[in-house]
Amino acid sequence: MEKSEKKGVIDTWIDKHRSLYAAATRHDFVVSIRDGSVDLSSFKTWLGQDYLFVRGFVPFVANVLIRAGKESGETSDMEVVLGGLASLNDEIEWFKSEGSKWGVDFSTVVAQKANQEYSRFLEALMSSEVEYSVVMTAFWAIEAVYQESFAHCLGDGNKTPAELIGACNRWGNDGFRQYCLSVKNIAERCLENASRDAFVEAENVLVRVLEHEVAFWEMSRGGQ
């Protein structure tokens, strides 16, 4: 096994919470993209909600970046997070062009309850009272759910509609997979030295991210 893929505490937690992890990464909405049965109004709902989410995610990642610069003691942490922030810049542009393509006017989209709750959760994680190891674990989980979900839509045998391949590539590509592995390695390194309380909190936060991700996908059921 490569060093970057060695089994650490995060994989142990994923094994422990396997059914929740599967619910977050193999949600019906994602499966429907992969099998081609996706309802396009669900896709549009997801697009509008995710655009709003990403706008709230940027300050969260900026906060992670500041903490990586101040607290990590490893120069490479900052570079990894900066790469993530840079790709969010492209992501916002991508959302805008998808919005025009699908006729979704983001200025009229209102954040649904699940989206608001997820944003509040991210805001709470931006407090300086939350330990760096906990923040990094959450950051990894948020990115990894999208990576795993959309990579699934590109895997062998997929029937993903051609017009959704771009969305799947955005998070399902190999570069994004490598970036998620880098974030995971940072989180693992921090967890090795974390206090008992931070360690317990990191597992709890991981579970909460997975729950928020499931609730987020669930919004797509409402259509538009």
- The token pair that represents 92 in the structure block: 């916002």
Between 13 and 53, name the residue whose CB sits nearer to ligand NSP. Answer: 53
Among 77, 98, 131, 143, binds ligand NSP (CB under 6 A): 143
Q: Are 33 and 164 in contact (CB under 8 A)?
A: yes
Q: What number of chain residues touch ligand NSP (CB under 6 A)?
A: 10
Torsion (CA) 139, 218, 156, 167 in degrees, nearest 10: -70
In Å, how far are 46, 163, 207, 219 from 33, measured between CA atoms? 12, 11, 25, 15
Helical H segments across the chain, by residue range: 9-16, 18-25, 28-34, 40-71, 75-102, 113-125, 132-152, 165-172, 174-192, 196-218
Binding to ligand NSP by CB under 6 A, coded x per residue (else -) over 49-68, reads -x--xx--x-----------
Q: What is 144-198 written as a DSSP string?
A: HHHHHHHHHTTSTT----GGGHHHHHHHHSHHHHHHHHHHHHHHHHHHHT--HHH
Q: How far is the CB of 216 from ligand NSP (least distance, A)?
A: 4
Q: Is 117 a catalytic residue?
A: no
Count Cα neighbours of 186 within 13 Å in the Cβ-side half-sphere. 30
Site for ligand NSP in 195-224 (CB under 6 A): 213, 216
Q: Is 142 in the site for ligand NSP (CB under 6 A)?
A: yes
What is the H or E stretch that residue 224 is in? none
- Single out the segment in contact with ligand NSP by CB under 6 A; choices: 37-45, 66-74, 104-112, 137-145: 137-145
Q: How far is the CB of 22 from ligand NSP (least distance, A)?
A: 16
Q: Are 114 and 216 in contact (CB under 8 A)?
A: yes
Binding to ligand NSP by CB under 6 A, coded x per residue (else -) over 163-202, reads ----------------------------------------
Q: How far is the CB of 141 from ligand NSP (least distance, A)?
A: 9
Q: Point out the residue whose Cβ comes nearest to ligand NSP.
A: 146
Between 135 and 145, name the residue whose CB sits nearer to ligand NSP. Answer: 145
- Single out the segment in contact with ligand NSP by CB under 6 A; choices: 1-9, 75-83, 138-146, 156-164: 138-146
Among 13, 146, 150, 199, binds ligand NSP (CB under 6 A): 146
Backbone angles phi, psi at 59, to 5 degrees: -60, -35
Q: Active-site residues: which are they? A: 213
For binding to ligand NSP (CB under 6 A), which residues are involved?
Answer: 50, 53-54, 57, 142-143, 145-146, 213, 216
